[in-house]
Amino acid sequence: MDLAFVLYPKMTALDLIGPYEVLGHQEGVTAHFVAATPDPVTCDAGLVITPTVTFDELDRADIIVVPGSGVWEAALADGAVAAWLRKVHPTATWTTSVCTGSTLLAAAGILDGRPATTHWAVRDRLAELGAVVSTDRVVRDGSVVTGAGVSAGIDMALTLVGLIWGDDRAMFTQLGIEYDPRPPYDAGSPETAPGELVTLARSLLSGSAT
């Protein structure tokens, strides 16, 4: 089973690494890190990831994972990711995104009229791009699975493991990575965070959340 993890400049590392740790260890899986060029890609916090294949070289994958970015508008404007998605999505078994990666799916026409989720600060923009926006942490619509902001990529990937390999395998994977979230604060969403922090976050993110 071929997994394509999409790379592009200034992407958010955890959006990719979380799903990779969940999916990359499953039996029979071959992971590909695909980008526009073979040059190393620098994530938004400085982590460097080297592609294993380019968009021109990889024309199909069983599972596609598209991470988000704090500067996702730049990836939209570039158009390279969306163009590749338009080519490979029709033959993929699963097409997925994490955080603002959903905007790239939308730019490729994959989310037209479909339910999808994204980072809370980008919900309005995703709706403008044609999706039916949900506030759920993970949304599945047919072969398309989207995750909300950053850490939701782990939830999205575990959901996918359950769909492909069964619930027992998904629970075993969750146990193996000790995914048992107990955050020290209850400020992980705009519904629970203090109002002044939500206002500050909105002003800093300015519609381009990670």
- Write down the pLDDT at residue 207: 45
- Binning pLDDT at 50, 70 and 90, where does residue 20 land? very high
- Name the residue ranges covered by the structural domains of the chain: 2-205
Percent of the chain's residues with pLDDT above 90: 93
CA distance 123 to 177: 30
Answer with the residue of higher pLDDT: 6 or 209: 6
Give me the mean pLDDT over the 27-53 stretch.
Answer: 97
Check pLDDT > 70 for residue 208. Answer: no
| Local confidence band at 115 (pLDDT 50, 70, 90 cut-offs) | very high
Residue that is written with structure tokens 């381009």 in the block? 208
Q: According to the model, what pLDDT value does residue 19 have?
A: 98
pLDDT of the residue at 70: 87
Give the per-residue SS3 of 42-60: ECCCCCEECCCEECCCCCC
Mean pLDDT, all residues of the chain: 95
Q: What is the pLDDT of residues 55-94, one digit of tens each?
A: 999 999 999 999 999 888 999 999 999 999 999 999 999 9
Q: Mean of the pLDDT values across residues 92-114?
A: 98
Q: Give the CATH number of domain 2-205; options: 3.30.300.30, 3.40.50.880, 3.40.50.150, 3.40.50.11540.
A: 3.40.50.880
Segments of 89-184 assigned E as strands: 94-98, 115-116, 132-133, 138-141, 144-147
Q: What amino acid positions are annotated as catalytic residues?
A: 99
Residue 206 pLDDT level (bands cut at 50, 70, 90): low
C-alpha torsion 137→188→20→54, nearest 10: 90
Around Cβ 90, how many Cβ atoms within 10 Å? Answer: 10
Q: Tell me the three state secondary structure of residue 162.
A: helix
pLDDT for res 204: 83
> pLDDT tens across 170-187, in order?
999 999 999 999 999 999
